[in-house]
Amino acid sequence: MASEWCIGIIGGSGLYDIEGLEDEQWIAIETPWGDPSDEILCGTLNGVKVRFLPRHGRGHPIAPSELNSRANIDALKRAGCTDILAISAVGSLREAIEPGRFAIAEQFIDRTTARPSSFFSSGYVTHVSMADPVCSRLSEMAAKAITACKGKVATGATYIAIEGPQFSTRAESRMYRQWGADIIGMTAMPEARLAREAELPYSLIGMVTDYDCWREGEAVDVAQVVAQMKDNGQLAREMVAKFVGSLPKKRKASPIDTALDDAVITAPDEQEPEIMARLDAVAGRILG
């Protein structure tokens, strides 16, 4: 079944706006989970509906640990998004993934500890599969868009999400390399988990700003990160435009569109109406 695209763009550090939007307007969206990071910038780009949310808010006032990811994903779902392209500044844990390169995540390791990671709870217990946490279709199109914009891209990366806001110790950075992680950041989890629960195909593009601190004599500092973010930011804007412009005219259904099928385990007579009422956007398809 084919339908129209509506692309949600989550802009991370260094990406606070989208160039070239037509009919743009910032719209406030209320959610049962509280306030999202900011209003959502709605418009069209190359004839495609786009919904942009700056992950940390305009001006970057919100710390990674204090992001309301449930509200962010819920708001994008309410705004009509069919898919999410998330962009985030990351550190590199591999020599070959140098600062300035873009890295597309394929897997995640979650080391966050203080963030609500699910829309579902007692009264409506649900288990979705996270075996393949990103949408391969979106990731492949994103990689092609980066290359078309003359950017360097690494694919198939494993992203490790840490709580922050501090950067890693050297021991941690070296351990993460041993675990098989390729890039490191503070925001993709639980964002990717929540996108899956909301049946939104999700792809994460990491803009590499630094080598973390696993290399002898190197350490991460904000000035270094900000400088590289500025260099990466314009390419990211060009990539978004190229990505949106290269989408097929019609959107074919994705298996992720029905991720909640057979995921609810609570028996119907034990399901809590108050819990279900908060799920009207993220799980509205199965709630009827």
SS3 275: helix
Query: What distance in Å separates the CA atoms of residue 138 and residue 149, rounded to the nearest whole number?
Result: 17
Evaluate whether 203 touches 142 at the Cβ level (below 8 Å).
yes
Q: Catalytic one among 110, 182, 210, 257?
A: 210
**Terminal CA-CA length for the chain:** 20
For 169, which DSSP code? Answer: P
Q: Apex CA 11: angle with CA 251 and CA 146, to 5°?
A: 65
- Give whole-number Cα distances, 246 to 43, 47, 108, 141, in Å: 17, 11, 27, 8
- Is 221 catalytic? The answer is no
Q: Catalytic one among 38, 74, 212, 257?
A: 212
Query: What distance in Å separates the CA atoms of residue 96 and residue 102, rounded to the nearest whole number?
Result: 11
Both tokens assigned to 189: 């989890």
- Is 212 catalytic? The answer is yes
Residue whose structure tokens are 């708001």: 75
Q: Which residues are catalytic?
A: 210, 212
